[in-house]
Amino acid sequence: MDLSHYFSTFERRDWQRIEEGRVRLALVGLGGFARERALPAIRRSTFCEATVLVSGSPETADDLAREFDVEHVLGYDEFEDGTASDAYDGVYVATPPNHHEAYACAAADLGKHVLCEKPLAAEPSAAERMVEHCANAGVVLMTAYRLRTEPAIRRTRELIADGVIGKPLQIHGGFSVTLLEDVGPDTWRLDPEVAGGGALIDLGIYPLNTVRFLLDADPITVMAETHTEGPPFDRVDEHVAVQLTFPNGVTASCTASFDAHPDSRLRILGSDGQVLLTEPFGGDVSQRILVEHGNTQTRYTGSPVDEVREEFDYFAHTVLAAVEDGPDGSDGLTDMRTIAAAYESAETGNRIEL
Amino acid sequence: MDLSHYFSTFERRDWQRIEEGRVRLALVGLGGFARERALPAIRRSTFCEATVLVSGSPETADDLAREFDVEHVLGYDEFEDGTASDAYDGVYVATPPNHHEAYACAAADLGKHVLCEKPLAAEPSAAERMVEHCANAGVVLMTAYRLRTEPAIRRTRELIADGVIGKPLQIHGGFSVTLLEDVGPDTWRLDPEVAGGGALIDLGIYPLNTVRFLLDADPITVMAETHTEGPPFDRVDEHVAVQLTFPNGVTASCTASFDAHPDSRLRILGSDGQVLLTEPFGGDVSQRILVEHGNTQTRYTGSPVDEVREEFDYFAHTVLAAVEDGPDGSDGLTDMRTIAAAYESAETGNRIEL
């Protein structure tokens, strides 16, 4: 089986329908990811421009505005009041999850399109309101699943859909970080009121959403186990293991950890082959893909692609070309409901139907 | 961290206490594994000799007896009657699982030590009786978990015990074969009355037992999902996914399949590193081990070791040296109980306490 066409134009934007256009963005929340990944990615993007920064730290925002040549700096109250709303067409909500609803809905009320970080909210009910609110306002709501625009994931999805590994059967995924080394113990990720949970909602959401995308299917049952060793992880799941079933008996065995050797990987076993992705979830995807088909192994080892730039262009393209095939609000909501059910399973010991 | 001492004398028999001795074996059941793996392994062993073949197919047995220079050939009835019992010291029971109890207990009644293939029986109650019967007879009962004598597994166990990967946290294991291509549809493995189940008891038992050995711990809960696509797998689990918890919150996410792309792998993620074993369960272990510790990766890629020869010598050594640290009957029984609980979980949707 010749796999060269999957890999020969690996970075192709199969989703791109238009060549020109520009979406002006307000960035709401200037945490590490927004500063270090989003702003540089927007600067290198095809369809985006950062025109407004919204922050509770005016000094940080002013420095960034100078560095990235951004016109406006606002406080959160000013943003919600509609200040400078003529200066942007869409917002990127990158606050902690419990604030997503307020800023996404404020943006929708101003007629602005919304790209909202994952998880979509800290709880399913808030995500439901966001979906409804944005639909009523007639604006795009996209959940910022950057893996969805990652070429390694898109090419893998194509070859699965084309039957290269036969029928998908069993999936293993894992994502682990050393949270205390990465950001220290003083992080909202350890407050379940703010984050909506722990390792599952912050990290486990990557394999959960990616598996759904790769299979083009939603899980029908979930079982889960959570564990914490104690402070500073005592209010959240430090470690989690989740087992999902999908239609046709496909299973996905996923783990996530805030406090383990850093690693991420995904394996999709099928009836006639398998795909192994190394480090798919960490933000800088190494593009190491191993495809087995029968007795043949094909490895792709290309250069990393800036998936954050891809994500912002995908969002802007969705707005400009009026196409709706991306990870919308209801996609983010499906993960919220799955995660809530997983926490319920961990609590009760029951398999939960979705 | 210097890992060279784990790999420099990779094949060392850390369990060997004596240099001489011989255990004469009766092989009960002459299926493919006994013919193609066990008899050649015994011929190359240090402590074993095949002196009796027990079979329902005298012609096959006579041919094998000539090829491997085995003195006696018996039918099952003759074996149970004690014919030629002076000619052997121990038996290797390699019949389908539902016959293990009868032949193991007959051997014990003759004062013979027993090496019994896994699963120990087709159901936990039979395994319980076997354990009790052999204990009362004062003979060794060892479950034939050949991975337990496999150097790749023993070295991995040592480096985990020494803290090379820190605290073990999350384990992923999988084992899949193409049963219909390997042995065809006319196999006792598809009859749950004979086999005790399907992919879980035949294949999943490898990661289950190996994980217990690597962690030196037993699972405390199990959740499972089984699935079949229909005939010829309609009476058994064609595919299975199992999620176990161990003490201290360690989880193991294991899958097995009778009808998928052939693969086996095991990953043990710890707080400070991880170990990845490629193809650990397939019988010819490739000895590809990747150990990650912090930012260092160490790969071992040695030649395969005949784990079946190691297993037979280990059994004979247990008899000769009167040491009891191997996979005894109660070890096999623990897996039987875990597997029964996993089937119960798949049936009821509940997490089962062990």
d(C-alpha A82, C-alpha A77), whole Å: 9
Cβ count within 10 A of residue A182: 12
Per the structure block, which two tokens stand in for B64?
């094998």
User: pLDDT category, A1, cuts 50, 70, 90?
Assistant: confident
Stated as kind and residue range, the H or E segment containing A48 is strand A48-54
**Given the DSSP bridges, would you call strands A221-227 and A239-245 parallel, antiparallel or unpaired?**
antiparallel
Judge: B170–A273 Cβ closer than 8 Å, yes or no: no
Residue in chain A lying closest to B268 (CA): A261
- pLDDT tens digits for A121-171? 999 999 999 999 999 999 999 999 999 999 999 999 999 999 999 999 999
Peptide bond into A124 cis (omega under 30): no
pTM for the complete prediction?
Answer: 0.96
Residue intervals of chain B classified under CATH 3.40.50.720 are 12-146
Residues of B in contact with A241 (CB under 8 A): 170, 243, 245, 251, 253
Question: What's domain B151-304+326-353's superfamily in CATH?
Answer: Dihydrodipicolinate Reductase; domain 2 (3.30.360.10)
Per the structure block, which two tokens stand in for A89?
């067409």
d(C-alpha B146, C-alpha A166), whole Å: 32
Residues of A in contact with B350 (CB under 8 A): 349-351
| Residues making up chain B, counted from first to last | 354
Per the structure block, which two tokens stand in for B34?
């006994």
d(C-alpha A333, C-alpha A131), whole Å: 8
For B145, phi then psi, to 5°, come to -85, 95
d(C-alpha A229, C-alpha A235), whole Å: 10
Residue with tokens 């030649």: B303
SS3 A336: helix
Domain A7-146 of CATH type 3.40.50.720: yes
| Mean local confidence (pLDDT), B288-298 | 92
Residue intervals of chain B classified under CATH 3.30.360.10 are 151-304+326-353
| Mean local confidence (pLDDT), B258-287 | 92
Domain B12-146 of CATH type 3.90.1150.10: no
Give the A:B interface size as CB pairs under 8 Å.
Answer: 133
> Which residues of chain B have a Cβ shorter than 8 Å from any chain A Cβ?
165-166, 169-170, 172, 174, 176, 221, 223, 225, 227-229, 239, 241, 243, 245, 249, 251, 253-255, 257, 259-261, 263, 265, 267, 269-274, 292, 349-351
Residues of A in contact with B169 (CB under 8 A): 176, 239, 257, 260
Mean pLDDT of chain A: 96
| Mean local confidence (pLDDT), B110-134 | 98
Residue in chain B lying closest to A164 (CA): B261
User: pLDDT category, A211, cuts 50, 70, 90?
Assistant: very high
Least CB–CB distance from B261: residue in A176, A251, A292: A292
Residues of B in contact with A342 (CB under 8 A): none
pLDDT at B269: 98
Distance, in angstroms, between B124 CA and closest chain A CA?
24
- pLDDT tens digits for B17-30? 999 999 999 999 99
pLDDT at A308: 96
| C-alpha count within 13 angstroms, C-beta hemisphere, residue B335 | 30
Query: What 3 state SS string does A283-322 have?
Result: CCCCCEEEEEECCEEEEEECCCCCHHHHHHHHHHHHHHHC
SS3 B291: strand
Mean pLDDT of chain B: 96
Under 8 Å between Cβ of B343 and B123: no
pLDDT at A324: 74
- pLDDT tens digits for A5-22? 899 889 999 999 999 999
d(C-alpha B328, C-alpha B145), whole Å: 10
User: Is the confidence at residue A326, as pLDDT, over 90?
Assistant: no
pLDDT at B250: 98
- pLDDT tens digits for B179-199? 999 999 999 999 999 999 999
User: Is the confidence at residue B214, as pLDDT, over 80?
Assistant: yes
pLDDT at A2: 82
Per the structure block, which two tokens stand in for A141?
């709501």
Top residue of A159, A175, A222, A225 to mutate, by most chain B CBs within 10 Å, is A225
Distance, in angstroms, between B51 CA and closest chain A CA?
40
pLDDT at A287: 78
d(C-alpha A115, C-alpha A316), whole Å: 9
- Tell me which residue of A262, A268, A297 sits closest to A281, measured CA to CA: A262
Under 8 Å between Cβ of A104 and A90: no
User: Is the confidence at residue A99, as pLDDT, over 80?
Assistant: yes
For B209, phi then psi, to 5°, come to -70, -40
User: Is the confidence at residue A284, as pLDDT, over 80?
Assistant: no
d(C-alpha B243, C-alpha B220), whole Å: 11
Residues of A in contact with B270 (CB under 8 A): 260-261
What are the percentages of helix, strand and coil residues in chain B, rounded to 5?
Answer: 40, 25, 35
Distance, in angstroms, between B232 CA and closest chain A CA?
16
- pLDDT tens digits for A35-88? 999 999 999 999 999 999 999 998 899 999 999 999 999 999 999 999 999 999
Residues of A in contact with B225 (CB under 8 A): 221, 223, 243, 245, 249, 251, 351
pLDDT at B188: 97
pLDDT at B284: 72
| DSSP secondary structure letter of residue A328 | B
User: Is the confidence at residue A90, as pLDDT, over 80?
Assistant: yes
The C-alpha torsion from B90 through B96 and B97 to B103, rounded to 10°, is: -40
- pLDDT tens digits for B311-332? 999 999 999 999 877 899 999 9
Residue intervals of chain A classified under CATH 3.40.50.720 are 7-146
**Given the DSSP bridges, would you call strands A273-278 and A259-270 parallel, antiparallel or unpaired?**
antiparallel
pLDDT at A325: 76
* Burial group, residue A203, by CB count within 10 angstroms (0-12, 13-18, 19+): buried
| Mean local confidence (pLDDT), B62-75 | 97
